[in-house]
Chains A and B, each alone.
Chain A
């Protein structure tokens, strides 16, 4: 091993590369910022993985060595065997035709069905692609009034849940001992289960625990059932927005989660509300937010007060780092600034003044830049009626969360935003889930008055900390029925598991905004012996002969749904159409209705009087918990796509961690990856440390949703369960602002990040400018290079495909990565191999920090194969496996590739991915059904990369030809483009002068090529990011270009 080290030192000494003058403006990691020797060395190794490295640095166990050698021996044997088998006919395949072919199925042609997705917070209208009756890809429904074509990673990845081999396939019962300490689940027939459950339900004391129910029909079933059995219905979500709900109720008299028009606002202030990430309807919000920023001369300003490094903070123009305990002070400080300037009618109200007075000049006390803070208040008032102030999410669930919401509502009313940008009318009235209801339920369970508890897809035994005492309370319930599709933490404590269908197997409907109804179509018949929740309730009602007639009379939930829509919905929505026409129209469009209009509500000033300055116990270190955009509350933890999706900001995969600032880490003498003990009250959690730039020095932030123990093979024991740190203080459920202690344990742990491989060595990769910069020149900060060539280049007579990526609207949400993974059959490789740089994502999102580590800002850049005209990869391939097409595509021919990896070596953008193993063979059945049949799976030893979704290009061209018309711009939408919530990605034909992409290339002054000076002539161009912060970028000191 010492030989090796010497060797690499030698290599760097002898390195003949020109030394690059470094530009510290953009950086990806601390190592790069400080330009440490380790970083320098890592630059020399283009590939994180090489056989040498593998056997030394990271490779785990002795077992692996043996495996490698065994494998090579086996290969020797298989060479010999091919002599016998090489020319024998390929295996016999059978063609099995339908007996009666369904009318809508054309073999080889996909059908798209409208459906919906709801994760408890956000509802999305979907189009689901079905091939020969099995769903293979999920996209947004462009017609849907909320999200449109935008879709989240989680919604797309929910597809894999359908094909999860560990999904329950039949009902179960648990053979408990006296104390219910054992888990012995055995099969039970539906008949037995139904009879026993109904027998028990008849004894009374029935409670139903569900998450938010967005479906009007399901709510009707639950209420019918509740009437029949005298049941109480409790709704609770681990990420409940009850603070918003209650805040609205106190401020305006009615509980609602309002909708926010980020597109209409010119000034947006977020206090820990991660509306671009994991809070509220994030996809719809991101879409609206981007719409408000598309016109760079008149774009909105986003100011974020951030106690974690949230995606919203990362996208903000001005970001303040705060502690959770400062949230209320900040809002009141802003109010104080506005009021003391004599603005608004409230300026004369003594009640308001008396509360607010103490907060004048609070910025100094909070350690914020007072000038910048005052400017926020000025900007807010300047844009009164066109601004939004939001706070929310578990990051704001401190002791003061309700006061915070009231203060925020007051500020919005004061600014006249209510009814203009904050709309209660089109808000969501179904997000009523609250911890209050859960606590009431637990109290009742403990008192023994709950004899039957039906839990529908909630997972309290994972999502709740010990403070709640749910586990003890559960043992007091005689009969627990769990309805879900996994034997998860809660299901294994239930007497009966009435196995639920997957969402894609169930009929349903939804109301995601007041007045807008979506239809949820199933995409596949139930794969196993499962039954939907609604049908279970209906069956129990039927067997028990209780409840309204409609609960008992229908044999399927579909019949109930149709009847419900015929009787209850159609009269108000059908506009005189007969029901069949209306119903078919609904199925086709996927939705019906429109949002109700909103008007300004009167703020109840009384509510404001609730606000009192709570005596702060100054804690030096505060805990803040937050959900991440990909894992959320942990429900989808068993989906590999999501686990391997890097966190948008930290770029860490397969783990959660305690994030702290550099200063705090230094004071602890801790380094990245040190295991630390986080102590909150009596609770402790040991997890690895992550040093996060831009974090407040008094904050330790941990993401929830990890540390599942019964999620399945993929999700079990990934990270640590931070829900265990949630504390109840006088009926307040606290996720943030808790006093925490950090202690080094002395052990190390390897956190794996996708960032820091693929370094771009300080060249012009991302370009940012400010609104002041572009007043002078639209192409501010873009350095154009003079390039020349002795070669005339390729001729493109037909199409010439190109892509434009607008960094200004890209929020880094990573929906494109999941879309690509689903469309192109990209494999998940696992933590160990990501560590070696073997992740397979064809599109990645690079995150660059700018500025200093204390107040680092971020820029995101999606990077995929650039399809260069003078592609460096093409010239080095010894077997012509990567070649240029006459439409400008850089083609990768898998069956020609022999795996020299020269192309990847020579690719300046590092977008090529190598198949180190036969990943496709590892796909467990029935996961293979999620594969897209239009795209082949790659075998070991083959290079792969973004193809510009060539299968979609072909499909689009074929369709146009079949319809005998020329191809129109927008006919072909590549997967990343169609998923992108903010339409940051545009794909099209550069030879069509009117296409959006051609216009972006020619007319957009912010447009630039990556590494233009290398003259690879990429077919992808980026548009610079504009920060609307009224600053002027200082002139660069010389170089930065190689």
Chain B
């Protein structure tokens, strides 16, 4: 997801100035995405340049400029919301590369690596469970859903570790060198 559509989505409700966009965006994400105010201003300027938002009212307090969604911005937002996420799956974590390297390197402590990674995933599951519980307690059902998604992903990671642990590893990976 890019910040662009997050900003458009927030402006759909009501006109906001840069700082309001930042604080509402961060509140919506429940602290899972920090943005700096500079990114927000840059994004707003680009959106204005592309005709997706437009300034509304004069410059208020301390020169703050509010923006509203334009019809074109509304259309772009609707289209983005309606599109499924396609494209390559994002695998950001180092474990994917570590695994490939460990199977190539002789005496690589693969079992140990998998066991340590499994523990890290267990701890993450515990942390996510607590986060989900907290979100529900705060009445943030939307955020609890996001955390639930992360929980299920981590569960899959854990299953992957178990599957790998029960596998016999040779040097099969190295053949493609």
A interacts with B: no
Residues on B facing A (Cβ under 8 Å): none
Residues on A facing B (Cβ under 8 Å): none
